[in-house]
Structure 1
Amino acid sequence: MLRFATSVLLFLSAVVAPSLSAEELVTCSGIVPMRYRDDKISITDFGGVGDGRTLNTKAFREAIYRIEHLRRRGGTLLYIPPGVYLTESFNLTSHMTLYLARGAVIKATEVFQYSN
């Protein structure tokens, strides 16, 4: 679970005011500037539900699998709308931005209900 939390923290981007320029966008860690991605998909496109009860592991894994295999030039942004998304661990991939909207929470669980 620590590896999952560390991975998420490294890739989360800060929620920023729309008036900021591209040079002012930084990740929540403040280390790496946020990279703009032309291609965007939402976790809801893969069945993600932010009700705090539904297990969203399958949605996260399918969305990230899609991003990994699309190999879009410039990468892809995975948008997580407001809500609480319960999930088991999942792996991130290169050339993606995991973007949590204001009010979006990814909550880890160790209850294993989904298998690959």
Structure 2
Amino acid sequence: MTARRAHLPVGDTAILISCLYLTSAPAQPAAGRLAEEFGPRRVFVAGIVLKFTAGVVGSSAHSLTALIVARVLIGAGTSAGNPAAMLLIRRRAEQAGHEAPPRGCSADC
């Protein structure tokens, strides 16, 4: 939804960008902690569910408030992916007997 289509001044829609980043900043470390506590797959799936919900809310939005809610959900859902993936990679490396995940990829990758 564009600012023109929503009959809003363009400046008022700047909050859509701000709320995404303000949500993501604390949500990513929190997702990392939750992944360690409850398991990375659960946190990753919860992030996918949040992003799906955000898509439904955003696509049916008829107000700036609904779009803000959608962007907050997107920020929280997206923040779950990286910490969960990093924990999965770290655990897999430990299972394979490595002290840390590999830093690069050989030509066989």
- Normalising by structure 2, we get a TM-score of 0.30
Q: Which structure carries more strand by proportion?
A: 1
Task: Flag the structure with larger Rg.
Answer: 2
Higher relative contact order (CA 8 A, sep 6+): 2
The structure with more helix, counted as a fraction of residues: 2
TM-score normalised by structure 1 residue count? 0.29
